[in-house]
Structure 1
Amino acid sequence: MRSQHDAWVRPPELDPEEAADALLRDLRSSRGGLSGREAGRRLVQYGPNELRRRGKRRWPGELVRQFTHPLALLLWLAAALLLMVGSQVVAGAVVLIIVLNAAFAFVQELQAERAVEALAMYLPQRATVVRDGAHREVDAVELVPGDIVLIEEGDRIAADVRLLGGAIEVDMSALTGESVPVVRSATMQDVRVPVLRAHDLAFSGTNCTGGEARGVVFATGMHTELGRIAALSERVEQEPSPLERQVRRVAWLIAAVSVLLALAFIPVAMFGAHLSLTNAVLFAAGLLAGMVPEGLLPVITLALAVAVRALASRGALVKRLSAVETLGSTDVICTDKTGTLTENRMRPAAAWSAGGRAEFDWASSGASPALRAVARIAAACNNAELPDGESEAAGDPTEIALLLAATRLGADAGIAAREAERCRQFHFDPELKLMTTIDGHDGDVLSVHTKGAPESVLPRCTRILGEDGEPVPLDDAWRERVTAQVDTFASEGLRVLALAERMLPAGQPPQRRDDAERELCFAGLIALIDPPREGVAEAVARCRTAGIRIIVITGDHPLTAAAVARRVGITGPDPTVVTAEDFERLSEAELGKLIRREPEIIFARASPEAKLHIAEALRGDGHVVAMTGDGVNDAPALHSADIGVAMGKSGTDVAREAATMILTDDNFTSIVSAVQAGRRIYDNVRKFISYIFSHATPEIVAFLVFALSGGAIPLPLTILQLLAFDVGSETLPALAISREPAEPGLMDRPPRPRGEGVIRGSMLVRTWLFLGLLVSVLQMVGFFYVLVRSGWHPGAQVGPGQPLHHAYQQATTMTFLGMVFGQIGTAFAVRTQHASLRSIGVFSNRHLLAGIAAELALVGIFVYAPPFQALLGTAALPPGYLVLLLPYPFIVWGADELRRYLVRLGTRRAQLAT
């Protein structure tokens, strides 16, 4: 027997019955099903009918990788250096940070594997098969190729099946994205069409919404269409987010600078200060420990966690912390239409008959005879049910909307009367785009009621109802008038259905569809609307201002998609619309050129592979892509995009597992809010990196003053004081800066380039050579002020037991406090990169005020608590010295405020000059 993949080649020269028999022969099966023994043998051969991974778990390697991340390596080095200088407690805290971060990152890695597992939820637990000539219920995982399965309304189909008898309606939305159920029939055979459109096939993971059928299984497990999508999802590997890449670069930069400075300090200390090699290495280790920003990683993690909580309150659940920052760099949003841009709720908008157009904002008593006929047909040719006060509306959304229209036009839409009169029904045919019912009235007359696409109904009509409700010939002039009205509705983004009828004498209703759907009398049109969500147009406008491109990728009709895109402002009047047929003819290179060339583009009737190729083409051009999706078919594209956005209400479990963000309200505006939050977070990451980096200069200056003076000037800052500053007093304000409100104009600037570093040259100049140098001068002023007032002169001994030892301890304490008070000024300075602090509010960040208060309380403990005095070498300072420190924050803050003012002034002058 051939493999499942190639077991069936559709023979185009055979009729449906002969084709089914050929397939049965190929599968070595029969209409009587398999024997239990043969089914067991095939289960061993093909394996269980389930979705599974193609490879083994690589979790040990993934876990090790978390411990060898560049920033983790830097923290390991910091811990080792802390042990070298005897600070076991702080070293243990750093190791704890490494372990917690590795564990958290590892858990996030495991989330990606759950997408394939979630696909299995689309397989039912039981299926009805024919085994040994009898009907049996078996576990779905036991289905094998060649099994004969029975499908009824409400069943979830367990494998890919070729129908042998009967007809069913199938909800294919999980695979195709289209919400309208499609008909699958054993008597309908298609040749040279995509496999998902074949009318004689039903697929694993879809739902039967009506009818009964019998079919033969030709593919199971990973060989099904659902399995193929699972395999696509598994092959797509997620790349590190922009922030993750930037953190690695920052880590290596810090490591390189730290190691170079430490190595350079050893010869300076040995030959300049005449220290021993051991002491030189010890001081170099202390310098390196001071350069390592132990708080950088936890601050970034906690900042992103805060943003995640804030987004959750706005309807966006982010599964991976780094995704928040990725959203901030997003420059392309690929969005679906239904349910994201629109409400996913059909409503009657207008009706048209020979008497003209009528909007649904008037009383039903005003309907003309022709419109009342339209209402009667809409109510009869329908399988939906309106709510009765206790239950909700049931049925297809389009048919529910038609019933609402019929009710407004005065028709009886009750299901009891409809079922009592129905004699026969021809299900909606997606190829014919028609549905027809034959209904009896008082036993003496039959009525054919037909609804469908106008281009399908109109050619089958020979008459049209006049305004008075009497039929008149449907001549060319009437046909042109109807067609013009259809085009008008379509251009408004409305879905148009045509309705027609024919009276028959009492007796046997037509058995063939062709006999019923001919010589009809055209009654009129009903136009339905899926209105845009509230706030979407404003969100789209914000995207335009922010330089974010929006591309609509939908399974809906091209005209409808284009009209909705125009209505919400995504495109102008003439967008480029690419249909599924157009897309199939494009090569990868042509697709990339098309996306670059056409700024306003819509992809309609998009397939799963199309969404995946579009995401890859955009990312290949350097774009940061956010992709929305809700069905199983969207999982590969959600994986491939930088940000996969799944719908929380209408989305499938598969999409939610594959995505990095879930919209609990299915609203496009939540995406834009998340983009704004991502930009704010990225700005704040830069701000607290500036804050943390600015301490490097004063720490280095303290060591260089000692070394370059040849030891004549004592070390202004002890290693333990330096570590206390790095790990203790600096962290809380940094955390507060991570919660800084957005600066004005955040969404008025274009997205940053994908490769732009989180650290820029101008940022280093500001932090190291301006803010850091200013704090260095202030702290050294305080250090020398205390020493000189105590009678110190260069070269004087200040070691333990010397008369100046207490004064030296006060001086190092003054240096330590000078750094702290200088960093308070730095914290206010870095809150804004360009604007004045007054424009965002001096006291608008209450977390920063609380963080500074906590920092001062902690510093007070370091300076005045005897245990910490003994540990850190600090000493209590008299009030006069503390007063000297009070201006430090205002000097640092004021200097940077002046610098920013001069920069803004220069920018304005340059703009005026041009």
Structure 2
Amino acid sequence: MDPREAAARLLRDLRTGGEGLTAREARRRLEVHGPNELPHHKARQWPAALLRQFTHPLALLLWIAAVLAWIAGTRELALAIVAVIVLNAALAFWQEEQAEQAVEALGEYLPQHSQVRRDGRAQSVLAAEVVPGDVLLVSEGDRVPADARLLSGAVEIDASALTGESSPVERAADFPDTAQRPLDSSPLLIFSGTVCTGGSAEAVVHATGRHTELGRIAALSARVRLAESPLERQVRRVAWLIAAVATGVAVAFLPLGVLAGLTWTQAFLFAIGLLVANVPEGLLPTITLALAAGVRGMARRGALVKRLSAVETLGSTEVICTDKTGTLTRNAMRVVEARDGSGVQATPRAEFAAALARCTTADERTESGDPMELALLNFAHSVGVRLDAETRDAQRARLFRFDPHLKRMTTVDPADGGFVAHVKGAPEEVLARCTSALPARGAAQILTNGLRAALVDVVNDMADRGLRVLAVANRSCTVVPADRGAAESGLCLLGLVGLIDPPRPEVAAAVEACHSAGIRVHVVTGDNGRTAAAIARQVGIGADHVVEGTALDAMPEADLDKVLTSGQEIVFCRAAPESKLRIADALHHCRQVVAMTGDGVNDAPALRRADLGVAMGASGTDVAREAATIVLTDDNFATIVSGIEEGRRVYDNVRKFILYIFAHAVPEVLPFLLFALSGGAIPLPLTVLQILAIDLGTETLPALALGRERAEPGLMDQPPRQRAESVVTRRLLLRAWGIMGVASGILVLIGFFAVLLAEGWWPGSDVAANPDLQHAYQQATTVTFLGIVFCQLGTAFASRTQYAALRDIGLTTNKLLLGGCVFELLFAAAIVYLPPLQTVFGTAPPPAWAFALMLPFPVFVWAVDEFYRGRGRAHAAARTQGPEMSTLPSRYR
């Protein structure tokens, strides 16, 4: 069944008539065809979704730590670890629930009630109960509930949410149509989700629910699976790395402990201690809270982030596919150039200005209507012609509304002794119907082939400069033309007008920042290719290649991949919904992290498919906002670039606190190894409870503060990270375990032995059997605990930079870190000096001289790492003939 066939035949095929269905037949068809609703996602089973948050790899490690803490007899701390797991699971679950509403939002485009004719009379029914064969009664302000074919009347339809076209389109039952036109462009059809902005008509429904055009787009969105973010993949790898290291160390300790003289029971208990020491209990909440802080930072910059991991994904973005209108530009058109009928730039004649004022439907006084027409009215007013909308509409004899396929609009207005048809539209369409041209001075002249060619060159020149060009013409009539063809023939060209939607002033700098950061920018728009390319070049986008929508549709996959990986910046114009989705898929296939902007229903599938769907908050539809992971409240391209910088900063900061947390594994593990390898001749320098106090207490706030560290100099001068690059690099492990970890381990053991030896202890002495050594042993383990805390201060400040010197970012610029260090010292002091906590953690106040010994620990740990980073800076400067951060190799990021 073709909905564009003759109305009588379509009514016969649908087994209905002009009087509509009977109520009984409508109920039967509702059972057959189902409700007029869009396809929905299968409802998520929230218990299963919540359970997944408790089985995340890092969460599993925390469960192991809790179980081991319970086995070790520290039930209070085991419960504390469980509380951390529960809080993180609840936060992650809530974030996911907010991000899965795209297809449901499409349903908001269906009205609750619709007017139909049943049993021969008009009545209101639920939109969900509209069925094929129903006769709709559509009038101004109605939202169309289903796909239908007009039977009588004419309406003006706002289809922007479905097609992306900003201008309303006219649909009428008597318009001619051809099979060559796309179905959604037929002047006879109206579609579900569109809005009637004028006129009235009757239409017969031929498709409902999932069978409508809107349902087809909803099905595309439903099939597209949300991509896993790079950080989510990296955290999973880190979790398995930690698990492998922790398990390997614990298993290796069992035979070593037995060979050293321990019983299998003792070796197993201390293997548990080693495993607990290697599990970073604070890593998962620190990552979650760091990303949450990034979300708040993005909100302050004008972007609302719906998934925590989206902040980091922005930081790894390699390609941005952006719209033009409203994103690169201000979405505020104005006339910047006018030419007469011969193509010469000149002040418009009265006839030209009158045509601009007459051939519009916008209202300058209320600023309502198409932005382009408002710009034309403002221009006509500036040259002395002003006509209020009420007078204009009252005097108008005939209106042929703008047709996006004919690309022109015509009004017939009164003139001296007759009428004048005023026509405006695309130059190629209007020029083809002109036989004469009116210069700025003198009488009209014949439009010769030479003059036509010259005018075409003028139009191309204006378009190449980013102007939207309109041709304006008229013709005198003694009577009102009978049809559009008669009104739009034998025209006299009055002139050309060039409008511009100026680029946002901040976009050029944002594009330059993208290029410095190694990010390519493609423009994907429904606009004309010449205009889009010109605007792109004005803001610094290369626009090396322009691909029309029809050419893109015909392009093989291999050719599209080649274009997208050529290193060029492409302008894709006249892009259909499937085309945008295809571009996103191709970029995924090429293993590139892509951010794609959009604002309409037609953009929803591509927004869901991209690594980052970025919706327009001010001008976008609810569908686009729900499908996206980020919503720009200001519709500004520069906000995307700010988000990229924020994402890079967050990712760098994740590395910083991972470095900080990993650095403490060595001083926590060394005491156990020393105890095991000595066969018990050296008592255990650190207890499991003290390890948990470090991991869950003293370590947490400084790690969180590192997650709020400012961006390092040159952050946006580095290329995007590769997908394969791990958050944990060899250089990070070298700094954490080989430099700061080893330095900290040696320092804390020096403190431990110093206290024991000062009290007369020698290797092999039984500290449990000798009452004089029991207190000294408690003091010695306390010094080990405090030594790690003091070393944490040094690792915290060393971890603030990946490469730069501490002086480059300032010693006191991170106030949160200073506060976290103060809390760390106070918390450690409470454990050491408060009697209830002394009992729990087995601590005792150390002698005063031990504090003097530990005071240089932070400076020493920081200095060792600073020496390593300084050598790296010196080598980089030698290779690049300069110390600028912008020239640093990517491995130092």
- TM-score category, normalised to shorter length: over 0.9
- Distance in 2, matches of 1:873 and 1:357, equals 93
- Distance in 2, matches of 1:811 and 1:889, equals 19
CA 1:327–1:192: 2 relative to 1, 3 Å = same
**In structure 2, which of residues 367, 370, 376 is the aligned counterpart of residue 402 of structure 1?**
376
Residue pair 1:352, 1:371 contacting (<8 A) in 2 also: no
For 1:373, the aligned partner's letter is E
- Deviation string for 1:218-246 (max 9, x for gaps)? 11111111111111111111122111111
Give the SS at the match of 1:113: coil
Shift of 1:897: 0.9
For 2:146, the equivalent position in structure 1 comes to 159
- Distance in 2, matches of 1:816 and 1:908, equals 40
Shift of 1:173: 1.2
For 1:803, the equivalent position in structure 2 comes to 772
Give the SS at the match of 1:164: strand
CA 1:598–1:892: 2 relative to 1, 3 Å = closer
For 1:520, the equivalent position in structure 2 comes to 491
For 1:559, the equivalent position in structure 2 comes to 530
Aligned sequence identity (%): 56
For 1:248, the aligned partner's letter is R
Residue pair 2:659, 2:736 contacting (<8 A) in 1 also: yes
**In structure 1, which of residues 458, 466, 469 is the aligned counterpart of residue 439 of structure 2?**
466
Residue pair 1:576, 1:598 contacting (<8 A) in 2 also: no
- Deviation string for 1:779-811 (max 9, x for gaps)? 011111111111111111211662111111111
- Distance in 1, matches of 2:550 and 2:409, equals 26
User: 1:881 and 2:850 equivalent?
Assistant: yes
- Distance in 1, matches of 2:610 and 2:141, equals 34
Shift of 1:106: 2.3
- Deviation string for 1:443-485 (max 9, x for gaps)? x221111111111112222222232363233233432332222
Out of 101-110 and 429-438, give the one that drifted further: 101-110
For 1:481, the equivalent position in structure 2 comes to 454
User: 1:130 and 2:104 equivalent?
Assistant: no
- Distance in 1, matches of 2:816 and 2:62, equals 27
For 1:497, the equivalent position in structure 2 comes to 470
Residue pair 1:680, 1:741 contacting (<8 A) in 2 also: yes
- Deviation string for 1:486-523 (max 9, x for gaps)? 12211111111111112223xx4111112221222211
Shift of 1:628: 0.6
For 2:395, the equivalent position in structure 1 comes to 421
**In structure 2, which of residues 223, 244, 260 is the aligned counterpart of residue 256 of structure 1?**
244
User: 1:819 and 2:793 equivalent?
Assistant: no
For 2:774, the aligned partner's letter is H
Residue pair 1:371, 1:524 contacting (<8 A) in 2 also: no
For 1:742, the aligned partner's letter is A
For 1:25, the equivalent position in structure 2 comes to 12
Residue pair 2:343, 2:458 contacting (<8 A) in 1 also: no
Give the SS at the match of 1:804: helix
- Deviation string for 1:746-766 (max 9, x for gaps)? 000100101211111221122
- Distance in 2, matches of 1:699 and 1:796, equals 23
For 2:886, the equivalent position in structure 1 comes to none
User: 1:101 and 2:74 equivalent?
Assistant: no
Give the SS at the match of 2:772: coil
- TM-score of the pair, normalised by structure 1: 0.94
Out of 759-768 and 376-385, give the one that drifted further: 759-768
Shift of 1:731: 0.7
**In structure 1, which of residues 417, 438, 441 is the aligned counterpart of residue 415 of structure 2?**
441
User: 1:377 and 2:355 equivalent?
Assistant: yes
For residues 186-585 of structure 1, the aligned pairs below 5 Å read: 186=173, 187-272=175-260, 274-354=261-341, 367=347, 370-387=348-365, 392-441=366-415, 444-468=417-441, 470-505=443-478, 508-571=479-542, 575-585=544-554
For 1:654, the equivalent position in structure 2 comes to 623
Give the SS at the match of 2:708: coil
Where does the alignment leave 5 or more consecutive residues of structure 2 unmatched? 883-888
Residue pair 1:341, 1:668 contacting (<8 A) in 2 also: yes
For 2:555, the equivalent position in structure 1 comes to 586
For 1:797, the aligned partner's letter is D
- Distance in 2, matches of 1:419 and 1:250, equals 69
Residue pair 2:227, 2:610 contacting (<8 A) in 1 also: no
**In structure 2, which of residues 687, 707, 723 is the aligned counterpart of residue 738 of structure 1?**
707
Shift of 1:255: 0.8
Shift of 1:663: 0.3
Shift of 1:357: 5.3
Shift of 1:354: 4.7
Shift of 1:68: 1.4
For 1:364, the equivalent position in structure 2 comes to none
For 2:528, the aligned partner's letter is H
Give the SS at the match of 2:498: strand
- Distance in 2, matches of 1:197 and 1:535, equals 36
Residue pair 1:421, 1:441 contacting (<8 A) in 2 also: no
Out of 791-800 and 640-649, give the one that drifted further: 791-800
Shift of 1:54: 5.6
Out of 167-176 and 678-687, give the one that drifted further: 167-176
Shift of 1:19: 2.0
Residue pair 1:148, 1:215 contacting (<8 A) in 2 also: yes
For 2:866, the aligned partner's letter is E
- Deviation string for 1:629-677 (max 9, x for gaps)? 1111111111111111010000111111111100000000000000001
Shift of 1:906: 2.2
Tell me the matched-pair count. Answer: 882
- Deviation string for 1:151-174 (max 9, x for gaps)? 222221110111122222221211
For 1:363, the equivalent position in structure 2 comes to none
Residue pair 1:380, 1:437 contacting (<8 A) in 2 also: yes
Give the SS at the match of 2:409: strand
For 2:292, the aligned partner's letter is A
- Distance in 2, matches of 1:54 and 1:540, equals 37
Shift of 1:64: 2.2
For 1:907, the equivalent position in structure 2 comes to 876
User: 1:149 and 2:118 equivalent?
Assistant: no
Shift of 1:44: 1.2
Residue pair 2:342, 2:438 contacting (<8 A) in 1 also: no
Out of 195-204 and 818-827, give the one that drifted further: 195-204
- Deviation string for 1:277-306 (max 9, x for gaps)? 222211111111111111000000110111
